[in-house]
Amino acid sequence: MKVRVTKKLSGEPIVVPIRTEFIKLQDFMKFANVCESGGMAKTFIQNEQVTVNGEVCTQRGKKLRPGDTVGFLGNVWAVSQEEA
């Protein structure tokens, strides 16, 4: 199973802007290049390897909104609203 990490953290989260009001956790992990497929994201989420706002999340359909953070493998991604 190959996992892509956008970059290693230096204490700051990786900011990922979205155009919509929310994005589901599984879709976010694919969109942000956290993992290669939705199936991989599903597995990591079900195995309690993903956090949302610092808490383990097992809901792959969890709605993420700007301001939320996703943690995985020691990295953190921050959801933000894309500027128009």
Interval 76-80 mean pLDDT: 97
State residue 10's pLDDT score: 60
In sequence order, what are the residues at sequence separation of 6 or more whose Cβ sits closer than 8 angstroms to the Cβ of residue 84?
A: none
Distances (CA, A) of 28 to 47, 79: 17, 9
Provide the pLDDT confidence category of residue 9 given band limits of 50, 70 and 90: low
CATH says 14-81 is which class? Answer: alpha beta
Domains of the chain by residue range: 14-81
- What pTM did the predictor assign? 0.85
- Cα 1 to its chain centre, rounded Å, is 17
Asked whether 71 and 40 are in contact (CB, 8 A), the reply is: no
Q: 52 has which bridge partners?
A: 55, 70
Interval 62-69 mean pLDDT: 98
Provide the pLDDT confidence category of residue 1 given band limits of 50, 70 and 90: very low
